[in-house]
Amino acid sequence: MERSVNPTALGLAIFLARTLRGWSQTDLADASGLTNSMISEFERGRRNPSTKSLERLAEAMRIPLPALYSLIPILERFRETVKAGVEERVGPKQTARVKIDPMADEMVRSTLDLIFHGKMARRDFPPRPEDRNQALEVWARLRTYDVQDQFLLVEEGSEYQTWALCELLCNESAEAARHDPVRAFELAGVAVRIAGKVAGTEAWRSRIQGYAWAHFGNARRAIGDPAGADEALLKAGLLWRAGATADNGLLDEERLRQIDDAVVGS
């Protein structure tokens, strides 16, 4: 007989178990024989796994199924606490607009990842090319929110405060500038917010901020704000050059040249 459980709490339990192993969704999919999309649906509480699927997940992670079930009431209480905190932060006037429950779920995931996966110690620094893989997974969730909620999430969630996610949003903004300037502006704005929070040295943060501000300037130019674009590009150049010693070539300088050669300078 199928066991009736709260799909949201069960999804968080699966996420926590996966995170404790240091696995991505792809890793768990490979080990369990299920698909990435199924695991994503399970973790987000959009689909309750069958007992057979849950057994395969537990076996893949080498966790007794009763132990996985035992996490559910704990995570339900944790989620309610986080949800109350989100409601308090956004205020009564914003509560109706903000999707409180999904945001609470994201906050829980970010907090668990921070506590159990060692991101408090490393926090995406030193930067590595493979950080981009995690950024793709994080963006797949973050992009489902409207831009106001994205700002709230990146303000509070450490998993969003990474150079790789900032770079990804910059690249998405550059692509959107060709056909949807408003979307490009929104993406670049979120990237700028992330850039100010990335981990590492002051020089590295300056470098990634320069990259983000250049794309913000590009987006301002696309929406027809040349004065705002010039101001953003000037700031981008100062930040980019100030952080030159911290960049080992991860960030694409040629992309900035395509935006405005003055940002890179001599």
Q: How far is CA 204 from the centre of its chain?
A: 19
Long-range pairs of 104-109 with CB within 8 A, sequence gap ≥ 24:
104/79, 105/8, 105/11, 105/12, 105/44, 105/45, 105/79, 106/141, 106/142, 106/153, 106/157, 107/82, 107/153, 107/156, 107/157, 108/12, 108/75, 108/78, 108/79, 108/82, 109/12, 109/15, 109/159
Residues 149 and 257 in one domain: yes
pLDDT given at position 111:
66
Copy the structure tokens of residue 135: 């950024």
Question: Taken in order 85, 88, 91, 95, is the CA torsion positive or negative?
Answer: positive
Task: Judge if 238 and 170 occupy the same domain.
Answer: yes
Q: Higher confidence at residue 117 or residue 80?
A: 80
Determine which of 34-48, 171-185, 224-238 has the lowest per-residue pLDDT on average: 34-48
Q: Number of folded domains in the chain?
A: 2
- Cα of 29 vs its chain's centroid, Å: 20
Q: Is residue 106 part of a domain?
A: no
Give pLDDT, residue 94.
54
Indicate which CATH number applies to the domain containing 91: 1.10.260.40
User: Domain span at residue 158?
Assistant: 118-266
Reduced to 3 states, what is the DSSP secondary structure of residue 155? helix
Whether the per-residue pLDDT at 119 is higher than 50: the answer is: no
255 and 130 in a single domain? The answer is: yes
Residues 140-187: pLDDT tens digits?
Answer: 888 888 888 888 888 877 778 899 999 999 999 999 999 999 999 999
- pLDDT-derived band at 24 (thresholds 50, 70, 90) equals confident
Q: Are 146 and 242 found together in one domain?
A: yes
Model confidence, pTM? 0.64
